Structure 1
Amino acid sequence: PQFVGGDGISFYLHGKSGQDFCIVFYSNLYVTTHFFGKRNPNMKRDFTWVQSLGILFDTHTLFIGAKNSLIWDDSNDHLSLGFNGELIT
């Protein structure tokens, strides 16, 4: 995945599918990500995408994640949100 900072500088992360990574660790702010992807034998590295973000700030937690879907249906919400352990609907 690629992240672009406020100053326009790009950061590229190459994670491993099915793994979690801490991408921000600062005082009272932590941001972790969960990666997913598939190995293509014709390529030198896996392509990975961020499936979810977990954010801890002060005493609060925020979860933002993509729900798995075998068949895409635009009428279904494919986003999962949570705050302090409670599902946001």
Structure 2
Amino acid sequence: MAEEKRATLYRMVLPDHVCPFGVRARELLLERGYDIDDQVLRTRDDVEAVKARFGVATTPVIFVGETRFDGADALQRALADR
């Protein structure tokens, strides 16, 4: 049975700033055919809540299945190995 290609992406899209790393992570997932649950963080409070929830200093935070990747670089490395 083929692997389900699902991912959850937490990324910052504020009125005055769109995180380029979140955009890159989304593009990487789309290029690989993932169905993305795109959790757009629209306020600083949303961003801070996600950072606290996952214990990270920055976004994006990406889940592919149960595996978490902190940042677009980590995601890119993992996808290159698949």
Question: TM-score per shorter chain, which class?
Answer: under 0.3
Higher Cα Rg: structure 1 or 2? Answer: 1
More strand by share: 1
TM-score, normalising length: structure 1: 0.26
TM-score, normalising length: structure 2: 0.27
More helix by share: 2
Name which structure has the greater RCO, CA cutoff 8 Å, separation 6+: 2
